Amino acid sequence: MVKSTWLLAFLQGSQFRIKLKFDFMRKGRAIVFLILISLLISSVYLISCEFDELGLGLNLEKEEEKEESEEVEDAGKVLDISSAEFFLELKSKQKNKNPLSDINIRKAIFYAIDRNKIVEELLGDYGKVLNSLFTEGSLYYFPAWKEYSYDLDKAKDYLDKAGYGVDNPLYITIGASDESSSRNITENLIKEDLKKIGINIWVFNKSSKEWYLDCIKNGDYELGIWALYTYDGGKLKNYFCSEKIPPRETDDNRNCYNYYWYKNEEVDRCLLKISKENNSEKRKELLKNLQDELAQDAIILPLYRRIFSIAYSKKIKNIDIDLRNSKFFANIENWDIDYDADKTEKENKEIVVGYREEPYVLNPLISNSIYTDYINNLVIRGLWERNENGEYEPVLVEETPSINEVEYGKLTLRESVKLKDGIFWQDGSPITSEDVKYTFKSIMEDESINNNFENYKKIKDIEVINEKEFDVIFREYFDDWKGLFNIIFPKSKLEEGKSIGCLFENDIVGCGPYKLKEWIRGEYILLEKNEYYFGKQPKIDNIRFLFNSDINCLISLLKEGEIDILSIPVDLGLIEELEENKDINLLIEQGNLWEHLAICLKPKED
C-alpha cells in the first residue's frame, strides 16, 4: 500500500510536468516557472513523507552527519586507531607538554608499577626488587625506594591530583633497546600496570646505538629503561649532578651522563661532598641522604639487579666472584683443579673459559668490552684499587702520609708516594717511578682515551725522586686522585713512539698474575702464569679463552666438558637444566649493574 501510494504521487507529478510542457507555449514563461517550482516542492514533500513512514526520512542534517561519519571512517582507514600516529595525535592534544615535570604524575607511575611481578617474570626466585643504589651487603645500602611498593589506590590518588584518571587518560611513551628481551618484557608489564590507573603507554624501541645516541643522550624520551653501575658511589656525580647535563659537557667537564636532566641544588652539594670524602662512615651518611633525596624527587625507580650467573665444572675448586665489578676471577691465586686419579701431578693445570665476544683490542684504556675487562683483570695492576666500601687500598705502593709544603711563599700541594720493593713487569724488569710518570704523560697527550681528563688536568706534574719514590704535584687538589693510577705501563714501551691508545692493539704488557702467551684471532687467547708476579703465585698454570658467538654451542661444550667455565644468560629453564647436571656447579649472585626506570625532565616546547 505504501509503495503504490508513493508511485501514484510520482506518476501524478509526472503527468503535471508533461502537461505543462504544452501549456508553456501558450502562457508566459513566468507563470510556467512558478508552477514548476510549486510542483517540485510538492513532489519532494510527497517523497519525503513516504520515506518517513519507512523510517528512512530524507533529513538534510542527517545526510550531512552521515557524510561526516563516512569521512571519519575513511580517515580511520588511513590513521589506524591502534597505530603510533593515532596515539601521538591524541598525545599532542594534551595541554601540558611536560606532564612528567609534575611530581604527582611521577609518584603515580612509581606506585602503579608492580616491581615484584617484573622480578618474578624475569628472574624467578633468583631476583629481588631493588630499593637502593647499592647491594644489601654494601655499607652504603639504604632502602630509600621501599616506600614505592605496589599500591594502585595511592597511584590513582596522585594521578587524580594531576588532573588525570581512567576517564581522562594521560598519554606518554616508554623506550629501551630493542635487542633486550628482558627490557621489552618489562616495558609491556609497566604498560599493563599504568593502564589500570589511566596512563596509556606507547612503546618506542630502537637499536642500542640509536636508543643511546638519538634518545637517551638527547633527552628525547619520556620513560626509559637502561642499566647503571655502582658499588661505591664514586660515579654518581656523573649521573645526577646538574652540571653533568649533556649540553654542559666540555673538555674540562666530561662524563656528563645526567640523561634525566635532573636539577637539585641539595643533591649537587651532597654529590660534591661525596666526591671529596674518603672516610667510609661519613660517606655512608652522605650516600643515605643522597638516596633519600633522589627517591623523594621520584626521577628514577630502581627495578632489580642483574643476576651474575656462571656455570662451571665441578673439578674447579675455590672459585669466587668479585661483586665490586661482577668478575669471576676474584682471588684467582686460590683457584685449583681437582683432576681425576689418572692425571699426573706434573701436568700443567689449564682451565678453558667460554666467551661469546672476542675483544678487538686488549688495551684497557680504550676497550669498552666487558670481556676484555675480565682478561685485563688478570694481566694489569695499578698502584691502588678500591675495596667494597670505595676506599683505596695499596697494590704496588706503600702508604705514606700527605705533605703540604710552603714553597716560595705559596702553598704547594704535593703527595709523596713510594713503590713497594720486589715488584716487576712480566719480563722481570723492575717497576719504577719513571713508568708511573710516563704513563701519566702519555694519557695526558691522548685525550681520546681519557675519561677523567678534567681530573688529570688538576695534576701539574709527576716529580721523580728516585727509582722507587715520586711526588704528585697538584694544580688543584682533589681527594679521588688515586683513581687516576689504576693502570700503569712500562716506560720502555711508551718511548717507542706509539700513542698509548694503540700501544697494545695486539699485545699487552702487565704485572698481574698472568701474561699473554698467544692470541689466535677468531679462536682463542691463551694466558700463562707470570713467574715474576709480586703476589701469591696462582695454582692454575694456563687460562684459555675460547670464543664462539653461539651461546647454545658454548653451553653444549660446557656439558661435554670441553669448556670449564661460562657466564650464562639468566634463563630460568636453562638454570634448572644445569642444576640437574651432576658435573656442573652454578654460582648465581646479584651484581652491581642494575636496571631502572628513568624519567626525563628535559623541558618540551608547548
Instruction: Give the model's pLDDT for residue 346.
Output: 53
The CB-side HSE value for 185 (13 A sphere, CA atoms) comes to 13
Domain check: are 159 and 22 in the same one?
A: no
Domain check: are 364 and 398 in the same one?
A: no
Nine cell digits for residue 577: 637444566
Quick check: helix, strand or coil at residue 599?
Answer: strand
Could you say which DSSP state residue 322 is in?
A: B
Domain check: are 130 and 187 in the same one?
A: yes
Q: Is residue 581 part of a domain?
A: no
* Range 354-383 average pLDDT: 75
Domain check: are 247 and 370 in the same one?
A: no
Residue that the C-alpha cell 506518476 belongs to? 11
- pLDDT tens-digit profile of 244-265? 999 999 877 888 999 999 999 9
Q: Is residue 19 part of a domain?
A: yes
Domain boundary among 43, 58, 73: 58
Asked if residue 54 has pLDDT above 50, the reply is no
Instruction: Give the model's pLDDT for residue 581.
Output: 95
Mean of pLDDT over the chain: 82
Nine cell digits for residue 218: 638527547
Asked if residue 7 has pLDDT above 50, the reply is no
The Cα 29–Cα 323 span in angstroms is 104
pLDDT class of 194 with cuts at 50, 70, 90 = very high
Nine cell digits for residue 448: 681520546
User: Which residue in 537, 533, 566 sits closest to 552, CA to CA?
Assistant: 566
Asked if residue 5 has pLDDT above 60, the reply is no
* Range 556-572 average pLDDT: 92
Of the ranges 43-47, 83-87, 325-329, which one carries the lowest mean pLDDT score? 43-47
Domain check: are 218 and 258 in the same one?
A: yes
* Range 198-202 average pLDDT: 96
pLDDT class of 206 with cuts at 50, 70, 90 = very high
Q: Are 132 and 143 a contacting pair, CB within 8 Å?
A: yes
What are the CA-CA distances from residue 65 to residues 62, 74, 171 (Å)? Answer: 5, 14, 29
Q: How many domains does the chain have?
A: 4
The CB-side HSE value for 542 (13 A sphere, CA atoms) comes to 13
Domain check: are 484 and 369 in the same one?
A: no
pLDDT class of 307 with cuts at 50, 70, 90 = confident
Residue that the C-alpha cell 649537587 belongs to? 268
The Cα 532–Cα 515 span in angstroms is 10
In this predicted model, which residue has the larger pLDDT, 139 or 6? 139
Domain check: are 274 and 390 in the same one?
A: no
* Range 212-223 average pLDDT: 95
User: Which residue in 434, 401, 435, 432 sits closest to 416, CA to CA?
Assistant: 401
User: Which residue in 443, 471, 438, 466 sits closest to 456, CA to CA?
Assistant: 443
What are the CA-CA distances from residue 18 to residues 6, 15, 35, 227, 251 (Å)? Answer: 19, 5, 12, 87, 95
Quick check: helix, strand or coil at residue 350?
Answer: strand
Of the ranges 252-261, 407-416, 572-581, which one carries the lowest mean pLDDT score? 407-416
Asked if residue 69 has pLDDT above 80, the reply is no
Instruction: Give the model's pLDDT for residue 606.
Output: 57
Q: Is residue 576 part of a domain?
A: no
* Range 236-251 average pLDDT: 93
Domain check: are 147 and 235 in the same one?
A: yes
Q: Which of 89-103, 337-351, 386-400, 406-420 has the highest mean pLDDT?
A: 89-103
Q: Are strands 403-407 and 410-419 parallel, antiparallel or unpaired?
A: antiparallel
Residue that the C-alpha cell 666438558 belongs to? 561
> In the beta sheet, which residues pair with residue 406?
411
Asked if residue 508 has pLDDT above 90, the reply is no
Nine cell digits for residue 469: 719514590
* Residue 130 belongs to domain spanning: 94-306+594-599
Asked if residue 215 has pLDDT above 60, the reply is yes
Domain boundary among 463, 478, 499: 499
Instruction: Give the model's pLDDT for residue 323.
Output: 61
Nine cell digits for residue 156: 590513582
The Cα 236–Cα 120 span in angstroms is 28
Instruction: Give the model's pLDDT for residue 453.
Output: 66
Angle among Cα 553, 327, 340 to the nearest 5 degrees reads 60
Instruction: Give the model's pLDDT for residue 59.
Output: 39
Stated as kind and residue range, the H or E segment containing 413 is strand 410-419
> In the beta sheet, which residues pair with residue 544?
352, 526
Of the ranges 25-29, 49-53, 436-440, 568-572, which one carries the lowest mean pLDDT score? 49-53
Angle among Cα 97, 101, 103 to the nearest 5 degrees reads 135
Asked if residue 594 has pLDDT above 90, the reply is yes
Question: Phi/psi class of residue 351: alpha, beta or left (left: φ > 0; alpha: ψ in -120 to 50)?
Answer: beta
The residue type at 32? V
Angle among Cα 527, 531, 532 to the nearest 5 degrees reads 115
- pLDDT tens-digit profile of 439-486? 998 888 876 665 566 778 889 999 999 999 999 999 888 777 898 898
Domain check: are 203 and 218 in the same one?
A: yes
Instruction: Give the model's pLDDT for residue 35.
Output: 43
The Cα 339–Cα 343 span in angstroms is 6
Q: Is residue 575 part of a domain?
A: no
Q: Are strands 336-337 and 316-317 parallel, antiparallel or unpaired?
A: antiparallel
Burial class (CB in 10 A: 0-12, 13-18, 19+), 49: middle
What are the CA-CA distances from residue 4 to residues 10, 18, 42 (Å)? Answer: 10, 21, 17
Instruction: Give the model's pLDDT for residue 498.
Output: 67
pLDDT class of 61 with cuts at 50, 70, 90 = very low
The Cα 201–Cα 189 span in angstroms is 11
Radius of gyration of the chain (CA): 36
The Cα 502–Cα 49 span in angstroms is 93
In this predicted model, which residue has the larger pLDDT, 405 or 150? 150
The CB-side HSE value for 270 (13 A sphere, CA atoms) comes to 20
Cβ count within 10 A of residue 255: 16
Asked if residue 193 has pLDDT above 90, the reply is yes
Q: Is residue 108 part of a domain?
A: yes
Asked if residue 73 has pLDDT above 60, the reply is no
Residue that the C-alpha cell 700443567 belongs to? 348
Instruction: Give the model's pLDDT for residue 53.
Output: 33
Cα 334 from chain centroid (whole Å): 34
Domain check: are 281 and 200 in the same one?
A: yes
* Range 74-79 average pLDDT: 46
Burial class (CB in 10 A: 0-12, 13-18, 19+), 23: exposed
Q: Are 279 and 563 a contacting pair, CB within 8 Å?
A: no
Nine cell digits for residue 29: 514563461
The Cα 24–Cα 159 span in angstroms is 76
Domain check: are 264 and 168 in the same one?
A: yes
- pLDDT tens-digit profile of 323-354? 665 567 888 899 999 876 445 555 789 999 99
In this predicted model, which residue has the larger pLDDT, 275 or 248? 248
Nine cell digits for residue 106: 611521577
* Range 583-597 average pLDDT: 90
Q: Is residue 25 part of a domain?
A: yes
Asked if residue 50 has pLDDT above 50, the reply is no
The Cα 545–Cα 347 span in angstroms is 19
Asked if residue 51 has pLDDT above 70, the reply is no
In this predicted model, which residue has the larger pLDDT, 372 or 401? 372
pLDDT class of 195 with cuts at 50, 70, 90 = very high
* Range 145-162 average pLDDT: 98
Query: What CATH number does residue 477 fall under?
Result: 3.90.76.10
Asked if residue 186 has pLDDT above 50, the reply is yes
Q: Is residue 506 part of a domain?
A: no
Distance between the two ends of the chain, CA-based, in angstroms? 64
Domain check: are 540 and 449 in the same one?
A: no
* Range 204-226 average pLDDT: 95
Query: What CATH number does residue 525 fall under?
Result: 3.40.190.10
Q: Is residue 582 part of a domain?
A: no
Instruction: Give the model's pLDDT for residue 543.
Output: 95
Could you say which DSSP state residue 134 is in?
A: S
Instruction: Give the model's pLDDT for residue 303.
Output: 98
